[in-house]
Amino acid sequence: MSCRFMNTVAHRLKAHRTAWLTLLACALGLGLPTSSWAVSTSTGCYKITGLTTDQNSAYYTDPGTITTNWVGSTDTAGQGAYPMTVTINTPPFVPDGTLLGSAISPVYNMGSNGVGTYSPEQVLWRCSPEPATANGLFEFYSTNGDNNYAGKWDASADSGIPGTYYTYYKGLISRITNLTTGQYASRYWAARQMTGLDKDSQGWLLVKAKNFSQYKLEFFQCSACTAYYSNSSTNAGYWSYTQPVGYVAFVAPNFGGDVQIGADHNVAYDGFYSRWPGAITAYNTVYIRRTATCAVTNATPVVNFPLITVNDLNQGLTRQLPVTIQMQCQSTTPSGMRAFASGTAANQTALGILAQPANAQAAVTAGLTTSGSGVTYLLSDGYGTDPSVATGVGVALTRPGGGALNFLTNQYVTLGGTQDGWDAVLNDATSTGSPGTGLTSYTRQINATFKAFAPGTVAVTPGRYNATAQVIVRVQ
């Protein structure tokens, strides 16, 4: 449920080359060192795991090259790249097909050491410059196609959601998207040709961590997806299954083997794991919840603040209006789930107001941050880039008693409390009845205040204000 906030305020050279070659031949006959004249004839790609100063080596690295001894996509690689909490519930309260969690990560975070394994500029491979090599460099990606619980079994027919695969957990299916190609990963290898690569002083191509795509990992609820999952996977807590749900590999003309476009990962996995830089995993990163919770049924659709002058804002005057939120909570606990509880601790339900990505980034740029992932103000669409938008002003949130609330910037990151933008769902809420079996309705109010966020420090300029935020309820 969203709320919208608005306000306005030549030949000769050949002879010379022949003479030089004659002199060189004489010099070589004297037994002088020859290494400075040699040129590597190696072709193909070579894995770079450290600095090499020998200019005749295929592993040579220019001074200042960023390298490290990297391992690849071991079973537990990629930890921390996709932090989120997903709550599995029962239809119809949470309809099948509901997106439960989503996160995006570059390959930098998918190596054996998890988040920060690679620097974006780190060189992973050095490739010879001839066209046969340059035209044969590919990023490959697939699900973990030889694992029953991590990408072998397509769930699309059962779920009605394309690109989804069974996971270890009952009722939960996953989907991986390559954000460069827009293609869903499947157990059949897909590829993207790597072009526009940096070169070193010898003209060799450098395959760096930054040259690989970003990948989105999503989880959906599917109670009808019962064909493949672990019989012991109805538990909750940290994702305990170590196997990644997908992989990112690198293929060049001098290696690749059976990893080819359209090959079935169930039998094609040459180069694992040292030539595969990235593992897409949920292990020890994603929280699984099976807990009764609440759902937002309605919220004030538009908050239209009255006009206010720059002078008034500079003097600390504000405009405040209420946002009314209506919810239904599960007062009866479905079988196999924890009972509902309002709060911001693990397995409790919290509420937050989510800022859209561009608005959140504008607030971060303006320094309006908390000690967590939240931001203190919702700035206008186009803030700092559109000259018709008012600056130095934004919307802040408070509870009826005056306690400040922050805005969420990531609805899938939980357990950070107020500093992340969460508040116990039933704070200041009033019960309004029982609309159906096992459900209780509630209404709560949050005050939205249009104000200068740093009077006297940040200049307030006249212009318009328009922003949209979303009311989120989620188990922590």
* Pick from 65-79, 131-145, 218-232, 429-443: least confident: 218-232
- pLDDT of 228 reads 83
Give yes or no for a cis peptide into 168 (omega within 30° of 0). no
Task: Indicate whether 39 pLDDT > 80.
Answer: no
- pLDDT of 229 reads 80
- pLDDT of 442 reads 98
Task: Give CA separation, 164 vs 178, 236, 284, in Å.
Answer: 14, 21, 21
Using DSSP, state whether 21 is helix, strand or coil. helix
Q: Report H helices in 176-333.
A: 310-314
Task: Indicate whether 354 pLDDT > 90.
Answer: yes
pLDDT digits over 243-271, tens only?
A: 999 999 999 999 979 999 999 999 999 99
- pLDDT of 10 reads 28
Of the candidates 249, 241, 253, 348, which has an alpha carbon nearest to the alpha carbon of residue 293? 348
Task: Indicate whether 29 pLDDT > 60.
Answer: no
Location of structure tokens 């300029």: 461
Average pLDDT over residues 16-29: 26
SS (H, E, C) 346-390: CCCEEEEEEECHHHHHHHHHCCCECCCCCECCECCCCCCCCCCEC
Task: Give CA separation, 378 vs 160, 336, 364, 384, in Å.
Answer: 36, 39, 10, 13
- pLDDT of 440 reads 97
384 close to 373: Cβ distance less than 8 angstroms: no
pLDDT digits over 79-102, tens only?
A: 999 999 999 999 999 999 999 999
pLDDT digits over 196-219, tens only?
A: 999 999 999 999 999 999 999 999
Show the tokens assigned to 309: 């002058």
Task: Indicate whether 30 pLDDT > 60.
Answer: no
Of the candidates 301, 353, 293, which has an alpha carbon nearest to the alpha carbon of residue 328? 293
Task: Indicate whether 71 pLDDT > 90.
Answer: yes
Q: CA angle, 142 as apex, 164 and 75 as ends, to 5°?
A: 100
Phi, psi of 200 (to 5 degrees): -95, -175
Helix-then-strand count for the chain, H and E: 5, 29
- pLDDT of 1 reads 54
297: left (phi over 0), alpha (psi -120 to 50) or beta: alpha
- pLDDT of 435 reads 86
Query: What is the DSSP-derived secondary structure letter of residue 425?
Result: T
- pLDDT of 38 reads 37
- Rounded (to 5) percent helix, strand, coil in the chain: 10, 35, 55
Show the tokens assigned to 152: 């072998």
Show the tokens assigned to 368: 């309006």
* Distance (Å, whole) CA 99 – CA 51: 45
**Alpha carbon of residue 3 to chain centroid:** 25
Task: Indicate whether 418 pLDDT > 80.
Answer: yes
Location of structure tokens 């070169």: 199
pTM for this prediction: 0.89
- pLDDT of 40 reads 52
Domains of the chain in sequence order? 84-288 (no CATH), 291-475 (2.60.40.1090)
187 close to 151: Cβ distance less than 8 angstroms: yes
Average pLDDT over residues 270-282: 97
Q: What percentage of the chain carries pLDDT values higher than 70? A: 91
* Distance (Å, whole) CA 66 – CA 119: 8
How confident is the prediction for the chain on average, in pLDDT?
91
- pLDDT of 41 reads 58
